[in-house]
Amino acid sequence: MGRLDVEGNKNAALPLLAACLLTDAPCELTNVPRIKDVQVMAELLQGLGASVDGIGTSRLRVQCDKVSGDEPDRRLVGRLRGSVLLCGPLLARCGRVRLAPPGGDFPARRTLSAHLQALGAMGVRRREDTAADYVLEAPGGLVPASVYLEEASVTGTETALLAAAAAPGESEIRHAACEPHVVELCEFLTQMGAEVEGAGTPTIRVSGGARLAGAQHRLSGDYIEAGSWAVVAAVTGGELEVCGARAADLEPITTILRHMQVDCDVDAHRLRVRPSSPVAIRQITTAPWPGFPSDMVSLISVLATQATGRTLVHDWMYELRLFALEQLSGMGANLFLCDPHRMIVNGPTRLTGRTLDSRDLRSGMALIAAALAATGTSRIQPLETVERGYAQLVERLRALGAQIDVEQS
């Protein structure tokens, strides 16, 4: 049986790092994932005047005595969608921020509307001096607000939380996201001195404006990473033990795996997957927490190619995510893309290797899983896309028995 440990939750690390800008005191984060996205966020903080020690390790120490500018590095912003999380802290400390269009995965529906809505309610105005950049100003400072988010956006909720922690008074965020990483941000802000109630529910109340102190926090294990490795084991008929993620966080994923008759069990911080003969289920639909996460839809679609029967995969949350999986047809998969949100997969099919394009983080990992299940050789590029969210990817795959060569550019 193979074994690996997942590191901290990527989707918690980025907002926690942004929160460190809310104080001039030192903060320390441990169990930080050693991934590209975290490195980019750390470099963004450094560019704004913060000292960041431990980049490339699982322990980061951040302190920002003085903010040296209100415009995060455009080149780095273009590589990281999570850079939008810097807006609230910069508005709190500078009263202004100029943000280039954030990059990362396919933009799809992932606009900044929820962020702008929350910030607008808190006294922030967008200056329309350019077509592309987001120039935001809070000349009177951030003000507390009661806001109903247009959608339960995770990063939109986090932007609202970061701003509310700095706004003097009581704020209420309704239709808030409930994901575990949102809860982690609430816990961190509480340690810093903000009063936060309702974490993990659709209504969060924040009493902000106090001088925030430094804090220490150990990140919880990344349940999306753990679920990804579980699918890799399932599609290859392997046996794997994945440690580090909480059972409660894994439940939306393991419920679907069991429904597909993948032999798996989970205890407090350990997920075991054994060789199985997966079967199709009528429909898999993504949903906000605690539903099946959209970040897993690409991987579960690859598993469906190896399951007996027909599965309808429905990701109503984001366009284009399923489009990246059309490449599976060239590997021999029997699938039909109904529209940008729905795909019918018939299995099992024998996959054969081919050249693949890792167009976004999660579909890239899904294509790696497909390549491992396929006969012959596959060439997947760019690898850096997947390394944005999976630490030591090549080393871990090799340790589990995969035959991988990395071409030098």
User: What are the catalytic residues?
Assistant: 105
Find out whether 324 and 290 touch, Cβ atoms under 8 Å.
Answer: no
Nearest C-alpha neighbor of 136 from the set 89, 170, 206: 89
Collapse the DSSP code of 61 into the 3-class scheme (helix H, G, I; strand E, B; otherwise coil) and give the result: strand
Find out whether 348 and 326 touch, Cβ atoms under 8 Å.
Answer: no
One DSSP character per residue, 192-259 reads HT-EEE-TTSSEEEEEE-SPPPP-EEEPPB-HHHHHHHHHHHHHHT--EEEESS-HHHHHHHHHHHHH
Rounded distance between C-alpha atoms, residue 229 and residue 396, angstroms: 10
Rounded distance between C-alpha atoms, residue 253 and residue 331, angstroms: 26
Find out whether 208 and 197 touch, Cβ atoms under 8 Å.
Answer: no
Find out whether 76 and 43 touch, Cβ atoms under 8 Å.
Answer: yes
Characterize the bridge pairing of strands 379-381 and 355-357. parallel
Collapse the DSSP code of 280 into the 3-class scheme (helix H, G, I; strand E, B; otherwise coil) and give the result: coil
Q: Which residues pair with 309 in a beta bridge?
A: 347
Residue 159 vs residues 72, 79, 292, 363: alpha-carbon distances, Å: 16, 19, 23, 26
Q: Which amino acid is it at 47?
A: G
Find out whether 159 and 119 touch, Cβ atoms under 8 Å.
Answer: yes
Nearest C-alpha neighbor of 334 from the set 351, 319, 321: 351
Residue 68 vs residues 90, 242, 314: alpha-carbon distances, Å: 10, 42, 45
Residue 218: CB atoms within 10 Å: 13
Rounded distance between C-alpha atoms, residue 56 and residue 75, angstroms: 20
Collapse the DSSP code of 173 into the 3-class scheme (helix H, G, I; strand E, B; otherwise coil) and give the result: strand
